[in-house]
Structure 1
Amino acid sequence: MYETPEDMTALQRLLDDSYAGAGCHLRRIAGRGRRLEAAEVVAELDGIKIMALATAGASGDPRVGPVDGHFYRGRFHFGSSPDSVRVRHIGARPAVSATVFDAQWSQITVHGRAVRVSPTDEPALEQYLIELHGRALWDGWLKEVVWVRIEPETMFAFRNSATGNCS
């Protein structure tokens, strides 16, 4: 866990505020017995998780594709090739949505804005990525990808273990 106490407080606030603004349908699906708290989200997202990332094309058309998701300091990060369509989309329209899910058992969805980051300018982030991928990959092609952090506006996290209600 790399989250600071401040990161955990901010993540919990984001989850609570997102849930409070959700409609009845989503609150029924992610009801009290199913919602994940900040500490559970961090535990669920340990390591590298395949994340379905949605970007918007030039006419606003949605495009979804898998990326390696990295949850660090309470934020999703991912990398992509500098010449990828998703990097072009993000450069022009930074609004994104992403979901990490485990079949029908758990789901963590974030909606927010993509911000390019440079791990070499953030030594702790760079070290985290090296720990996950290994020095050889990092010193090879991984160092050359475009790295992105999702600044969340809303986040919903739940586990399918109990019947939800609309409270």
Structure 2
Amino acid sequence: MRETESEIADLQQLLDASHGTATSHLRDIINDRTRLTAADLATLLTGMKVLSVATVTASGEPRISALDGHFLHGTWTFGTSGTAAKAKHLTARPAVSVAHIDGERLAVFAHGRAEPMRDSDPDWDETIAHWTAHYQSNPLTWGPDIRMYRLRPHWMVGYAGDRDALLTNDATV
């Protein structure tokens, strides 16, 4: 868990606002019994998680692909090659939807913008160090044009099929 108290508070505010604007159908599914808090997400989403990231083509067609995601400071970071179709989509149209789903156990859904990370960003060194420690290899060495992104979510919800069991039995998912 790398989140500060302020980041947890900001994430909780986003989760609350998102849940409050959700449809009644979604609120029937993600309710007081199944809803995850910001502190829950920060505890559960450690290490690499497979993300489904949806982008949009120039003609408005959706595209989804799987990426390695790391939840740092209350949001997702992910990377890809600059030659990947998704990198081209993100450059032209940075709006994305992101999901991490682990069966009925855990799901996190978010909508927002994929923001390119730069070596001048205050959290750049920490992000690259985290990824490097996880993979035992600097992700920037994985190809000639590796791009790192941070999700700037404007909507996010977290779900656990059995929240109590998930939080009791698993330190991470």
Deviates more, 1:98-107 or 1:120-129: 120-129
Does the 8 Å CA contact 1:48/1:69 hold for their aligned counterparts?
yes
CA distance in 1, matches of 2:143, 2:153: 24
CA distance in 2, matches of 1:78, 1:85: 15
**Structure 1 residue aligned with 2:55:** 55
**Structure 2 residue aligned with 1:165:** none
Q: State the one-letter code of the partner of 2:54.
A: A
Cα distance, 1:120 vs structure 2: 6.9
From 132, 135, 138, give the equivalent of 2:134: 132
Q: Which runs of 5+ in 1 are unaligned?
A: 163-167
1:12 and 2:24 are equivalent in the alignment: no
**Structure 2 residue aligned with 1:159:** 160
Q: In percent, how many aligned pairs have the same letter? A: 33
CA distance in 2, matches of 1:12, 1:80: 28
Does the 8 Å CA contact 1:119/1:125 hold for their aligned counterparts?
no
Does the 8 Å CA contact 1:120/1:126 hold for their aligned counterparts?
no
**Structure 1 residue aligned with 2:33:** 33
**Structure 1 residue aligned with 2:169:** none
**Structure 1 residue aligned with 2:24:** 24
Find the residue that maps to 2:99 and give its secondary structure. strand
Distance 1:157 1:58, change over 3 A: same
Cα distance, 1:33 vs structure 2: 0.5
**Structure 2-normalised TM-score?**
0.87
**Structure 1-normalised TM-score?**
0.90
CA distance in 2, matches of 1:139, 1:117: 12
CA distance in 2, matches of 1:142, 1:50: 20
1:74 and 2:74 are equivalent in the alignment: yes
Does the 8 Å CA contact 2:96/2:112 hold for their aligned counterparts?
yes
TM-align CA RMSD: 1.7
Q: Which runs of 5+ in 2 are unaligned?
A: 164-173
Could you list the runs of 4 or more consecutive aligned residues of structure 1 that deviate by over 4 angstroms after TM superposition?
A: none
CA distance in 1, matches of 2:50, 2:120: 23
Q: Tell me the alpha carbon deviations over residues 3-27 of structure 1, each in whole angstroms, 9 at most, x when there is no partner.
A: 1111111011010010011110000
Q: State the one-letter code of the partner of 1:147.
A: M
Cα distance, 1:97 vs structure 2: 0.3
Distance 1:56 1:139, change over 3 A: closer
Q: Tell me the alpha carbon deviations over residues 99-153 of structure 1, each in whole angstroms, 9 at most, x when there is no partner.
A: 001012211011000110025752222222222221x344631785100111000
**Structure 2 residue aligned with 1:99:** 99
Q: How do residues 107-146 of structure 1 correspond to structure 2 at under 5 angstroms?
A: 107-119=107-119, 121=121, 122-134=124-136, 136-138=137-139, 140-141=141-142, 144-146=145-147
